[in-house]
Amino acid sequence: MIELFLSPVFETAFSKIGIEIHEGQLFFERPKNAEHGDFATTIAMMLAKQEKKNPRAIAEQILANLPASEYIESVEIAGAGFLNIRCTPKLFQVALGSILEKGSSFGRITKGKGLKANVEYVSANPTGPLHPGHGRNIALGDTIASLLDWYGYDVTREYYFNNAGNQMNMLAKSIHARYCQLFDAEYPFPENGYNGLYIGELASTLQQQFGEAYKEENEQSLAICKQVGEEWAFAAIKKTLKTMNVHHDVYFNEDSLYTSGAIEKVIADLKERDFAYEQDGAVWFKSTLFGADKDRVIVKSSGEPTYRLPDIAYHINKLERGFDVVVDIFGADHIATVPDVISGVKALGFDSDKINAVIYQMVVFVRDGKLFKPSKRKGDAYTLDDLIEDTSADIVRYFFLMRSTNTQLEFDLSLAAEQSEKNPLFYLQYAHARICSLFEKVAQEGIDATPNADISVLKEVAEMELIKTLMRFPTIIEKASEQTEPQILCEYLRDVANGFHAFYHNCRIMGVESSLTQARLVLANATRTVLKNGFSILGVAAPERM
């Protein structure tokens, strides 16, 4: 947001000097020491190599050519060429007014306007309920989709699944075996079969509905078992996603890539371009031409495709649907296949730079500082539903988002159970609830909370620091979107909450001069707006009472 006020002033100076700047070079940061000013820029140092000049000399040139601005009080050169900027009260007045005027849309930017983004996440095959580890994929994917929406993209949320592979066959055999065991306890259960209690429950449903009709293992009996299992699993998955406030626009079935001929076309096109060959009865992709350590099998000698082949066809399908950005959310177990898929897309002449694979590290659970493996008393697998029930949907989403995707995440169940400021989400939500409580009290006492108050009376350090923090919100959205890192937004909201609590404790809002009360209410309301907007992106609630 600060760029809206300061960039035009500096761009005028560059024009006078004859310096051309590129996108991303000019930005403004908060100085580590508040005494150095309100904002600072390192543009002089950024331009030193380009202009082949000493950065301080460039800074002096910029300073000498800066036009007067109603938003800038002074600019000083520091160190090797930092430009420290002090702003006028007018800038902060306009900024707070803009936050309140834009309300629920404050923070939205238009850099992605006119472009289409596809975010694929969850993508679990319908073989059973989601496990806790899926939670990180879900929270990351859904929040990244929201960030891209706020960035300006037309976003499609997509779920990719396969209901025709070996996993589904094993699901059918598992249900059928449990069904047969209802009539013969000695009936063998398949090795590596699905053992969840839901398998037995589905088998009981089959017995109640069809009696002994499907005891014989044949194509028909396995088909009905697969159908029952798939329908149950998808219903369970969608119910969990709904609990987490997640929806998808598209459910894409991998099987359609085979029925449409897309798989065969990829093989044929790779061979035609001399990027694939047959050896030992298998089809190999020449991935070494794209930097891999060895060529990769895409069709086994048995005729069964490896994961790489349908994934290549699927990503081509996305690009052919006109998406300008394709985001995949993958666990670390996919790290070896992603480069090969991207290379396959590139080999077939598509723009692989449009593909952004977000690889996140795995999750471990801790309780009371010790590693903990969640389990259910019944001995069944612990599911994502169980985790939500033991904590909350908000906690699950936020805890899976608050660490960088590049780090292993420790989900602290003891911390998640805390109903105090120790709990990072509770701390943020409490700030929002406290502001709502403040405005309830204001309404009860009949105090005028006009949004047009003169905020030039705000001079305390806590007040000014909070205003500057709120102004960063659009920049945070931009950064978190471009880096596909929701953690950036989580950390920023922590700064907002910190800033508000400091302001609330150090600056009396009621019982002071009315002009000061009104100005501080404007600041509190702007803070509430930013918190609520941030929560909406993260997919967590903005409670009015706690």
Q: Where exactly are the structural domains of the chain?
A: 2-87, 135-145+248-360, 166-243, 363-414, 421-538
The answer to whether the beta carbons of residues 424 and 398 sit under 8 Å apart is yes
Helix (H, G, I), strand (E, B) or coil at 70: coil
CB atoms within 10 A of CB 111: 13
The answer to whether the beta carbons of residues 203 and 182 sit under 8 Å apart is yes
| Token pair of 382 as six digits | 């612990």
Q: What is the pTM of this model?
A: 0.92
| Amino acid code (one letter) for 525 | N
Q: Can you give the pLDDT at residue 376?
A: 60
| Token pair of 319 as six digits | 């690009």
**12: which residues sit within 8 A by CB, 6+ positions away?**
65, 66, 67
Q: Report, in angstroms and rounded to the nearest whole number, the Rg of the chain calculated over CA atoms.
A: 29
Q: What fold characterizes domain 135-145+248-360? A: Rossmann fold (3.40.50)
| Token pair of 97 as six digits | 């007014």
Residue 360: φ, ψ to 5°: -110, 150
| Token pair of 397 as six digits | 């989403």
Distance CA 206, CA 216 (A): 13
| Amino acid code (one letter) for 104 | S
Q: Alpha carbon 286 to chain centroid distance? A: 34
End-to-end Cα separation, the chain, in angstroms: 31
The answer to whether the beta carbons of residues 345 and 316 sit under 8 Å apart is yes
Sign of CA dihedral 183, 188, 190, 196: positive
CATH of domain 421-538: 1.10.730.10
Tell the burial category of 105 from Cβ atoms under 10 Å away from its Cβ (0-12, 13-18, 19+). Answer: exposed
Angle of CA points 100, 104, 109, to nearest 5°: 95
How would you label 60-89 residue by residue, b for 16+ Cβ within 10 Å and e otherwise?
Answer: ebbeeebeebebbeebebeeebbbbbebbb
The answer to whether the beta carbons of residues 282 and 303 sit under 8 Å apart is no
How would you label 219-232 residue by residue, b for 16+ Cβ within 10 Å and e otherwise?
Answer: eebbebbbebbbeb
- Helices assigned H by DSSP within 295-382: 308-320, 338-347
Q: Can you give the pLDDT at residue 375?
A: 66
Domain 2-87 has CATH 3.40.50.970: no
How many residues comprise the chain? 546
The answer to whether the beta carbons of residues 6 and 43 sit under 8 Å apart is no
The answer to whether the beta carbons of residues 71 and 5 sit under 8 Å apart is yes
Nearest to 539 by CA among 275, 323, 244: 244
User: Token pair 């090797």 is at which residue?
Assistant: 80
Distance CA 86, CA 40 (A): 9
User: Token pair 């430009």 is at which residue?
Assistant: 83
| Token pair of 283 as six digits | 């089809």
Dihedral class, residue 213 (left if φ above 0, else alpha if ψ from -120 to 50, else beta): alpha
**82: which residues sit within 8 A by CB, 6+ positions away?**
40, 41, 42, 44, 45, 59
pLDDT of the chain, 546 residues: tens digit per residue: 888 888 999 999 989 988 888 887 888 888 888 788 889 999 998 888 888 889 999 999 999 999 999 999 999 999 888 999 999 888 988 899 999 999 999 999 999 999 999 999 999 999 999 999 999 999 999 999 999 999 999 999 999 999 888 899 999 999 999 999 999 999 999 998 998 899 999 999 999 999 999 999 999 999 999 999 999 999 999 999 999 999 999 999 999 999 999 999 999 999 999 999 999 999 999 999 999 999 999 999 999 999 999 999 999 999 999 999 999 999 998 898 999 999 999 999 999 999 999 999 999 999 888 888 876 654 568 899 999 999 999 999 999 999 999 999 999 999 999 989 999 999 999 999 999 999 999 999 888 777 778 888 998 989 999 999 999 999 999 999 999 999 999 999 999 999 999 999 999 998 899 999 999 999 999 999 999 999 999 999 999 998
Distance CA 6, CA 468 (A): 14
Distance CA 111, CA 473 (A): 15
| Token pair of 55 as six digits | 């950065």
The answer to whether the beta carbons of residues 274 and 347 sit under 8 Å apart is no
Give the H or E element holding residue 536: helix 514-538
**114: which residues sit within 8 A by CB, 6+ positions away?**
none
